[in-house]
Amino acid sequence: MTLIKSISGIRGTIGGAPGDNLTPLDAVKFASAYAIWIKENSGKSAPKVVIGRDARISGAMIQSLVQNTLIGMGCHIVDLGLSTTPTVELAVPNENADGGIILTASHNPKQWNALKLLNNKGEFLNGAEGQKILDSAEKEDFSYADVDDLGTVEVIENYIDRHIKMVLDMPVTQIDAIKAAGFKVVVDGVNSTGGIAIPALCKALGVEVVELYCDPTGHFPHNPEPLKEHLGDLCKAVKTHNAHFGITVDPDVDRLAFVDETGEMFGEEYTLVACADYILGHNKGNTVSNLSSSRALRDVTEKHGGIYYAAAVGEVNVVQKMKDQGAVIGGEGNGGIIYPDSHYGRDALVGVAMFLSLLTEKKMKVSELRASYPSYFMSKKKVQLVKGMPVDAILEDIHTQYKSEEVTSIDGIKIDFADQWVHMRKSNTEPIIRIYTEAPSQKTADDLADRFIAELEVIAQQHA
């Protein structure tokens, strides 16, 4: 059982002892700390906070705890109920709120939940802001509102519909062309809120939808991370139903992946590549992704005459780099699309609309679209952290060992070789070191990852 406190929020497994897991006491403590920060940041004694949640089993309990804690701190609540991360992000500025909380553990299994914290722009907090909340939670110096100053609740049940309308209203969404194309898709909603949002968006665009695991019960039918090894049922369903392609999202609908018409994965790394290809074809400019994302985005960006920039891992870092460089689109290689003309947050609904629009322009099958992009293969592995392991020192030793190569150290260590790269970093959400590699073949990528796992183990033994 685990509780992870980071600048991006608090994430943990349900049940167990306070401080070791995400228990009711922990939820109340961190909600109280966030309320203190939101009051200081807004300068208001009664700030407005938007709250939404994915469909995981613990969601209603955690929302009740968090929401009522905020009411007890004098905050006014806009309750979206079952929602998506990008929906809450859009709702914060639209409702003139001072912040927002999304109750979701993203791609983590059902025993996990989390509080993901937003500012008044509907964007994730930066490091300094997040640290203030962690420090406040540690002190537990809370002061709650008197009975006459308790907060209120406004329930808005149709915000996903509003979100869909915003996507339809984007100038880049080619509604008529999509409706005329006669697409048929299979949607795997992993029994969370993607099962509400994605089919509804597709139907609004005139797309025939076969729903797979779209009942928002929170009982995930498979590991909810949208990776190839978890999506066997979707791959089969696309072929069984003779669909043009398949769509899958994670439980809070900020990650997006596709399956082509043959039942093969389009590749989560290529979700952003395809969407960027579409946007850059209409609006020349720069792009951003994180250090662990595919080189294919750089290639496509340069093909369109733009400049590609890399950011440290983490949505807040990608967003800041996008703002700094005036990027027209960006995101993360895990299937996260960030389109500034909509909002600065990963949004699977925006990505679906872009992908459908791109297909109407290219007039090719999804497998043919994938074949038109540079072909890279990634390996994503991890090393479990041992308590007391000097991770920073170990990574610094790797840096020294490869100092003659192109090394980036803004987030862990990334080593760029001529035709391949490896990125090693501590995870912000799990007690592990992530090791991502990319190469011209899957075997080469896997071998490179295994090589660095072995090197890390040798160096770790030297530090033992």
- Amino acid in position 298: R
Q: Write down the catalytic residue from 83, 106, 294, 357.
A: 106
**Nearest of 268, 65, 373, 418 to residue 77 by alpha carbon:** 65
Residue 262 bridge partners (DSSP): none
DSSP state at residue 147 = G
Strand, coil or helix: 448? helix
**CB-CB contact of 87 with 103 (8 Å):** no
CB 299 within 8 A of CB 279: no
Q: In this structure, what DSSP letter does residue 241 have?
A: T
Residue 106 annotated to the active site: yes
- The CA angle 254-259-264, to the nearest 5 degrees, is 140
Q: Residue 323, CB half-sphere, CA atoms under 13 Å: how many?
A: 10
Q: Is 360 helix (H, G, I), strand (E, B) or coil?
A: helix
Cβ–Cβ under 8 Å, residues 18 and 25: yes
* Nearest CA among 392, 411, 452, 401 for reference residue 292: 411
- Active site residues per annotation: 106
